Structure 1
């Protein structure tokens, strides 16, 4: 088996964050014994240990960490070693209080939590480089080392600082980006509201002002904050590459759209040696397994389709939501193996042993407060055995069916103030389109709007408010060459500087859609309209309507009432060899299925009616063979048809013709070649 990241693993990664510093050393022997019982193959160590590793400036104490890593190695457990730069020690902040970030309102945050960092601080950058260098020199050749883990969840909870150090850094960033103050004025449209600048030192971060500030300035500041965090990651990564060659370097992402909106993961995915992700179920009443699948698909896409690693999730409940329910029996295994089906090279948790103290003491763990005589522990042991049986899938890739265009920069821009309706939410549109595709049993790749889309028969664009000319050209070529495109409302409106594209809406997407939009007419709270379609069908829309003028597009659905009554609501445009659909109102997932069903027919994607609702079927393929995962999220047994016989890896049973999947269970079949 090739030595793909993490280094030295012979199967999939299974384990979690291990924080032995929270426990007396007498507990460590019990920990490694129980890790063996659970089938743990790798743990993450040292992520929050800076204050213990460097108790005084320049004075290092690695003795305890030496003993921990040696003990893990003796028991055959690989180590994902953290650089602890997410929480500098208290002594550091006493010496450098200006390294604490400042809010947009001018309030300097205090020490006592985590992630309270001004990423522009020279003192922080120097201190982070020093501790990273010392760790690399000491552990670069340790035989247990599988991977370096830089920092922790960049952007959580603070991504942007608004202090004077950041202001100076922002000005340098602007000069490098635009070349002159006039370039900044042009990009930001500073002629509006008299905001013209004549020197860089007049430009500040977009701090709190009496009313809405310049949206282009705010958008650039988000880019700057993201780039500044990334600079710090790259600095640590390069130290590790230099001193610890051959060992992959990562940092844990949080790609789930509901959890972190301050990081452009398209850019970050290019900087890590292995994409890793943390995912926690959001228990807000929605189908949590759909959000999980979406997060996994998005993470795999950030990895360019390559295998990635789930570096954190929970065995049961978390502790930071308004309500934190426990996972039901079997749900932990379904969650874990759903990530594996969608490309993860294992399943890691936060954390190994549940803390007795601190802010996360009620967050579930692999070894809970209840100990080994508990449901969670028994499920962890069973899952470890199951993960062990899947070693042969390592290095294979998940097979996608369709693509969804997503861009973090566009999401940032759309979320700024003074948009046509506060009820329109880019993430909600992405969720609804994804849910519809999920319920059609289609595996989704996400794609940057300027990426090559030629491999996909169907591409959906749920919310692309900011679309460059290059993105518009890319989508037009995709359709001309035979692709089927579905675009939702309020897309293609502005360029990369949040400036409206010249001419009628939808700007960059006018040509591919074959229409113009004269005006938007968002609906009031609680209002809805009907749209009428073929065969006297009727659907309900809310939040948004538009006055659409076809310019080559065919009207398929019409507004039956409301502000745009009698006008086009959904259109279809034949362009070259392909077809572009436009949906000018907000439809829920059920109504979207009607439109996407027609688009799938255009794309030649047959309905998968043989599969039950809430039963996922996902394939992985590669040199290791082809694998089919079936995940049953229902309370009823089901059967999944198999076009090729194979061996079910979790039970060892042969399968021919169909695959029985019990209620709440997961099955993984290695298909015969």
Structure 2
């Protein structure tokens, strides 16, 4: 189990190196993560490579018994490279270049940029290919973060045209037919005339915009793949990782496709960030961890865990004593089996001076240092249990094209796919049930229950797999705005909604309404009344049992929530976003029909099972700032208990 810190030795005087390493060992670490922002130190002048500084750092780490995760420094190209090739800088939508001085400012379509990345990676890998202290190689840093997942420069436009030529086999008329460019007289004679979907009067063609989203994703994926392939070519057997930032479901890049290039997925976990009055709810932190685990369906590493307050310009909430330690345990409970704190010592210069580390600028160990030390000490005995896979009985499915479709045409100002997934996930969280968050393209036949929320773009293959899952005895929960569009982001002529799923769900949708409020319409069911909002489908049952019906004057004839037996299983349809009480009732029933256990947990208490056989444990976490009792255990504020089973 790798346990350690993110260390930036180049930011400190060299005479501090050995004392730092000794204290890192005192902390309980066995790994340091270095090098990801050090291009100017590694290649101070073009073609003059100097790894002597990091030779000393790595030699010292080896001497002390510390392993190393070494980053490729491509997220921050040096000033001399931008001076020579200013067009490496990516551009905003209005064509303005992003200024040198931040990070992630390079265009991934830039040939000179990729060429210089290849050179620095090649020299770095050749230099360290026989270094036994290097446990893994991290490519770049937080790809797609902070708006770097889109560039609007002429190079990207040309690359986008090539992307479209390849997709349509050079047939411009096939593109015209697919996009329906006869609308608004947008027919093209050549690919070079196709615009980027930058701001215009009204809006661009939705099919064009979806292909732009796909291009942006592929551009980043190919950049990651090129680095990973180069490292493996030079160092057969190299462990290649990447540190994903949060918010992946809202990025213009498919994290799952990028993760396919990697040996290990890593995650930078920030339950609280600058300006936040309070941390994310515990269930949302858990959702982020489950999503990261789902990228490869495997355990993962945390490359940036926090202990102090964070922020670039505006800082925020300081984690309470033992709260950040609890977040570290929560990560381990959800499939993390290696964790590094960001950072060993807070910076005194540069943009991250207020991203507080384990040590402050005064270099005196205090609470945060001791709290991290205690976590490392307490987690090691459970390495065997935490190294086993997480076994979930339920899965939430998502689709990159569908998420992009809602970015393109949101329909309701309140419709937020990621928030809706988190809302569904939170019900399982409160029931003590683990959930995998996975791409819909993955095989989901082994689960007892799957949820398909707001999957507006689908295809016949997905419909067939979902039907087979339910027919074999599975339970499915499908929500409004699912199976509305085809893979090109177009409505489907001649088929009712939900497309190809009407027989599974036992219904069709006659009309739909976008609601700009939550809980604004009454619904009624066997257990009484409730409310719903955001969006609603007017459901006409075709065999489905009506569980809840709309109760406003004009639409009482339509169902709101239904249940339909199909084969040996059952399928639910939520035609609207019901209030929390109704949602919990429906999902609790679905869990019961899937024969899933539901724990009686107090609000803010989390339970996760880890391990197999004789080393199976329950991890019980109290996210509350007050003492509680749960499952027969007394828990102090932010306390974690590991219970052998």
Same fold (TM over 0.5): yes
| 1:507 equivalent in structure 2 | 499
Matching of residue 668 in structure 1 with residue 645 in structure 2:
no
Change (3 A) 1:457 1:52: same
Shift of residue 639 of structure 1? 5.7
Q: Is the 8 A contact 1:250 1:273 kept in 2?
A: yes
| 2:270 equivalent in structure 1 | 280
Q: Is the 8 A contact 1:87 1:115 kept in 2?
A: yes
| 2:77 equivalent in structure 1 | 88
Shift of residue 264 of structure 1? 0.6
Q: Is the 8 A contact 1:96 1:123 kept in 2?
A: yes
Matching of residue 357 in structure 1 with residue 349 in structure 2:
yes
Q: Secondary structure at the match of 2:187?
A: coil
Q: Secondary structure at the match of 1:105?
A: coil
Structure 2: give runs of 5+ residues left out of the alignment.
none
Q: String of CA shifts for 1:615-656, please: whole Å, max 9, x gaps.
A: 222122358842321112234555665xxxxxxxxxxxxxxx
Q: Secondary structure at the match of 2:564?
A: strand
Structure-2 separation of matches of 1:526 and 1:345: 39
Shift of residue 256 of structure 1? 3.8
Structure-2 separation of matches of 1:400 and 1:243: 38
Q: Is the 8 A contact 1:449 1:467 kept in 2?
A: no
Shift of residue 578 of structure 1? 1.0
Change (3 A) 1:662 1:524: closer
Matching of residue 463 in structure 1 with residue 463 in structure 2:
no
| 1:447 equivalent in structure 2 | 438
Q: Compare 315-324 and 33-42 and name the one that shifted more.
A: 315-324
Q: Is the 8 A contact 1:255 1:298 kept in 2?
A: no
Change (3 A) 1:490 1:285: farther
Q: String of CA shifts for 1:282-336, please: whole Å, max 9, x gaps.
A: 44667532111111111111122x2211111211221048651100111111101
Shift of residue 123 of structure 1? 0.1
| 1:653 equivalent in structure 2 | none
| 1:318 equivalent in structure 2 | 310
Q: 2:404 aligns with which of 399, 402, 412?
A: 412
| 1:269 equivalent in structure 2 | 259
Q: Secondary structure at the match of 1:15?
A: strand
| 1:76 equivalent in structure 2 | 65
Q: Is the 8 A contact 1:17 1:352 kept in 2?
A: yes
Shift of residue 163 of structure 1? 1.4
Q: Is the 8 A contact 1:432 1:588 kept in 2?
A: no
Q: Secondary structure at the match of 2:145?
A: coil
Structure-2 separation of matches of 1:576 and 1:322: 55
| 1:517 equivalent in structure 2 | 509
Q: 1:631 aligns with which of 600, 613, 621?
A: 621
Matching of residue 301 in structure 1 with residue 294 in structure 2:
yes
Change (3 A) 1:527 1:142: closer
Q: 1:391 aligns with which of 366, 383, 386?
A: 383
Matching of residue 238 in structure 1 with residue 229 in structure 2:
yes
| 1:165 equivalent in structure 2 | 155
Structure-1 separation of matches of 2:260 and 2:278: 34
Q: Secondary structure at the match of 1:398?
A: coil
Q: 1:253 aligns with which of 244, 247, 271?
A: 244
Structure 1: give runs of 5+ residues left out of the alignment.
1-11, 642-657
Superposition map of 1:6-45 within 5 A: 12-45=1-34
Structure-1 separation of matches of 2:544 and 2:349: 62
Q: Is the 8 A contact 1:517 1:548 kept in 2?
A: yes
| 2:364 equivalent in structure 1 | 372
| 2:143 equivalent in structure 1 | 154
Q: Secondary structure at the match of 2:77?
A: coil
Structure-2 separation of matches of 1:243 and 1:184: 41
Structure-2 separation of matches of 1:107 and 1:164: 12
Q: Is the 8 A contact 2:458 2:487 kept in 1?
A: yes
Q: Secondary structure at the match of 2:437?
A: strand
Q: Is the 8 A contact 1:79 1:147 kept in 2?
A: yes
Q: Secondary structure at the match of 1:521?
A: strand
Q: 1:534 aligns with which of 518, 526, 533?
A: 526
Q: Secondary structure at the match of 2:511?
A: strand
Matching of residue 131 in structure 1 with residue 88 in structure 2:
no
Q: Secondary structure at the match of 2:197?
A: coil
Change (3 A) 1:285 1:328: closer
Q: String of CA shifts for 1:264-283, please: whole Å, max 9, x gaps.
A: 12212211011111121144
Q: Is the 8 A contact 1:506 1:517 kept in 2?
A: yes
| 2:210 equivalent in structure 1 | 219
| 1:655 equivalent in structure 2 | none
Q: 2:132 aligns with which of 134, 137, 143?
A: 143
Q: 1:120 aligns with which of 94, 100, 109?
A: 109
Q: Secondary structure at the match of 2:598?
A: coil
Superposition map of 1:174-189 within 5 A: 174-179=164-169, 180-189=171-180
Q: Secondary structure at the match of 1:507?
A: coil
| 1:348 equivalent in structure 2 | 340
Q: Secondary structure at the match of 1:32?
A: helix
Q: Is the 8 A contact 1:573 1:580 kept in 2?
A: yes
Q: Secondary structure at the match of 1:267?
A: helix
Structure-1 separation of matches of 2:627 and 2:380: 25
* RMSD value, Cα: 2.0
Q: String of CA shifts for 1:409-458, please: whole Å, max 9, x gaps.
A: 211111114x4322211112111111111111110012322322222111
Q: Compare 613-622 and 272-281 and name the one that shifted more.
A: 613-622
Structure-1 separation of matches of 2:217 and 2:296: 18
Q: String of CA shifts for 1:133-183, please: whole Å, max 9, x gaps.
A: 000011111121000001001111211112111111112211222212223
Shift of residue 55 of structure 1? 0.8
Structure-2 separation of matches of 1:13 and 1:411: 34
Q: Secondary structure at the match of 1:415?
A: helix
Q: TM-score normalised to the size of structure 1?
A: 0.91
Q: Is the 8 A contact 1:160 1:225 kept in 2?
A: yes
Q: Secondary structure at the match of 2:616?
A: strand
Structure-1 separation of matches of 2:555 and 2:233: 62
| 2:564 equivalent in structure 1 | 573
Structure-1 separation of matches of 2:277 and 2:448: 33
Structure-2 separation of matches of 1:371 and 1:118: 38
Q: Compare 381-390 and 47-56 and name the one that shifted more.
A: 381-390
Change (3 A) 1:21 1:144: same
Q: Is the 8 A contact 1:399 1:621 kept in 2?
A: no
Q: String of CA shifts for 1:466-485, please: whole Å, max 9, x gaps.
A: 11221122111111111111
Shift of residue 89 of structure 1? 0.7
Q: String of CA shifts for 1:567-613, please: whole Å, max 9, x gaps.
A: 2111111111111111111124443101111212222224322x333
Q: Secondary structure at the match of 1:309?
A: strand
Shift of residue 464 of structure 1? 0.9
Structure-1 separation of matches of 2:264 and 2:387: 12
